[in-house]
Amino acid sequence: MRSGIYPLHCAECGLVTIASRLPSFRHVLLISGLLLIAVNLRPAITGIAPLAERMQGDGLSAQAVGMQTTIPLVLFGLAGLFVGALGNRFGFARALGAGLVILSAGCFLRPWDFTGTGLERIVGSILIGIGIAFGNVLLPGLVKSRFPNHVGSMTSLYSTAMNLGAMFGIALAVPLANSLSGGWRGSLNAWGFTALIPLLIWLPQLLQKPRVHTEGNPFAGIIKLLRSARAWQVTALMGLQSLLFYSSVAWLPTILQVRGMSEAAASAWPAAMQLSGCAASIIIPTLAGRARSQTGWTVACAAMSVLGIAGILWLPLFWVGGATILMGLGLNAGFGVCLLLIALRSSSAETAGYLSSMAQTVGYLVAAPFPWFISWLSTTTDSWMIGYGFLLIPAVFVGVAGALAGRSGVVDP
C-alpha cells in the first residue's frame, strides 16, 4: 500500500467493514452519522450573515463581522493539509469525532469578548475552521471508499445535508437570537451544542480500534498531484465555487435589505434559497454522476448563479426573491457537483483523498479573503451594489473551470 496523506482503507480509518457488508442497523448508523456530521459543517458559518446588523449595532465593524467568515475559510485550507495525516495517525473515525469537539469548542468561544481584545473571536473562529476542515476533506474520499458504486447518490445525500445545515444556520439565527439569553451571542453559541449531537450516533465508529500507519511522507500524494493539469482544474473549480458560495451567502441578507427588504424577509429568503437548493443538490449531482462528462452540468449551475446575482442586483424588488432562489439552485447544485468531481476524477479512494486535500486546501485559501473583500469594497465605494456585483466575475469563471474539470477522465498521481 502506498503511503500518503490518508489512504482511506477500513482498517486505517477506524470504521467498520465496507458498508455493503454491514448488518443493516450498523449500516444505518454509519450513514446517519455521516449525514449528521455533514449537517453541522455549515451553520457556524451561515449563521453569521442574518445577525450582521445586530453585531454591528453592538460595535463590531463590517470587516470584523466578515473576518468571522474569512478566518474559518483560511483554516479550511490550512488544516486541510494535515487532516489526512491525523486520520492516519489516530484513525479516521476518531479524527472526525475530534473535529466535532473542536468545532463545538469554537462555537462556544467565538461570540464572547471577555478580555476586551477580540482574542476570543479570533481563537473561536480558528477552532471552527479546524473542526469543519475534518469533515470537508475526509467526506469525499470516504464516499469513494465506502460506496464506490453509488458515488453520485451518496455525494448528493451528504451535500444536501450540508445545504440543510446551511439553511438551518440562516433560518434559525434570528429566532434563536430573539429567544435565547445573550441575543446574537446565544444564537451563535447554540451551534456548539448541535455539533456534539452526531457523537452519539458516531460512537460505534469511535469504539472501533483502528490500525494506523505513519510511515512515509504524508504529503507525497499531494506533491504528485501538483503536476496534474486535471487536478488543478478541479482545484480551480473548488476555489471559485467556494469563493462564490461563501461570499454571496455571507452578505446576502445585507444586499436584500439594501434592495428594500425588511430584516425578517432578508433572513427568510436566504433560508428559502438554501431549502430549495437542497432539492437541486439531491437531483443534479445524482444525474451528473451517471453521465460520462459533467461539463454541461457545471456550466448550467454557473449560469444559474450568474443570472441569480444579476437579478438580485437589478430586478424590481418583487422579483428579487425569485432571483435569490435561482442563485441558490446554482450555488448548491454547483457545490454538490464540485464534490462529486473530486470522487469521479480520482482513480481510487486514496487518490480521492489526495485530490480532496489539494482542492480544498488551495481552493479555500483562495476563497478565504473574499467575504472580507466584499465588505471592504462595499465600504470603500459606499455601495453594496458594487461590492456584491463583483461576484459576477467569479461566477463566470466558475463556468470556465467547470467546463474543464467536468470532462471525462481521471487523475492518478
Strand runs (DSSP E) across 50-115, as ranges?
none
Between CA 351 and CA 254 the distance in angstroms is 40
- What pLDDT shows up at residue 11? 39
Mean pLDDT comparison of 73-77, 191-195, 350-354, 405-409, highest-scoring range: 191-195
- Tell me, yes or no, whether 413 lies in a domain: no
Domain interval for residue 167? 10-405
Cell triple for 299: 456550466
- What pLDDT shows up at residue 310? 97
What's the total number of domains in the chain? 1
Strand partners, 130: none
Q: Do 46 and 169 meet the contact criterion of CB atoms below 8 Å apart?
A: yes
- Tell me, yes or no, whether 412 lies in a domain: no
- Tell me, yes or no, whether 303 lies in a domain: yes
Between CA 132 and CA 368 the distance in angstroms is 14
Average pLDDT score over residue span 92-101? 86
Strand runs (DSSP E) across 96-160, as ranges?
none
- What pLDDT shows up at residue 298? 95
Asked whether residue 19 carries a pLDDT value surpassing 70, the answer given is no
- Tell me, yes or no, whether 329 lies in a domain: yes
- What pLDDT shows up at residue 129? 93
Between CA 85 and CA 218 the distance in angstroms is 6
Instruction: Please enumerate in sequence order all residues whose Cβ is within 8 A of that of 371, keeping only pairs 6 or more positions apart, or say none.
Output: 66, 69, 70, 73, 246, 247, 250, 251
What percentage of the chain exceeds 70 in pLDDT? Answer: 90
Average pLDDT score over residue span 324-338? 92
Cell triple for 241: 465555487
The CA–CA distances, whole Å, from 62 to 52, 54, 58, 376, 399 equal 8, 11, 11, 8, 30
Asked whether residue 309 carries a pLDDT value surpassing 90, the answer given is yes
- What pLDDT shows up at residue 211? 57
- What pLDDT shows up at residue 375? 87
Between CA 371 and CA 61 the distance in angstroms is 13
* pTM (two decimals): 0.76
Categorize the per-residue pLDDT at 110 as very low, low, confident or very high, splitting at 50, 70 and 90: very high
Between CA 235 and CA 230 the distance in angstroms is 9
Asked whether residue 6 carries a pLDDT value surpassing 70, the answer given is no
Q: What is the pLDDT of residues 218-260, one digit of tens each?
A: 677 788 888 899 999 999 999 999 899 889 988 898 899 999 9
- Tell me, yes or no, whether 300 lies in a domain: yes
Q: What is the pLDDT of residues 286-296, one digit of tens each?
A: 888 888 899 99
The CA–CA distances, whole Å, from 310 to 285, 303, 371, 377, 378 equal 25, 11, 18, 18, 17
- Tell me, yes or no, whether 2 lies in a domain: no
Asked whether residue 307 carries a pLDDT value surpassing 90, the answer given is yes
CATH number at residue 196: 1.20.1250.20
Categorize the per-residue pLDDT at 38 as very low, low, confident or very high, splitting at 50, 70 and 90: very high
Cell triple for 4: 500518503
Q: Do 121 and 20 meet the contact criterion of CB atoms below 8 Å apart?
A: no
Asked whether residue 352 carries a pLDDT value surpassing 70, the answer given is yes
Mean pLDDT comparison of 71-80, 152-161, 226-235, 271-280, highest-scoring range: 226-235
- Tell me, yes or no, whether 5 lies in a domain: no
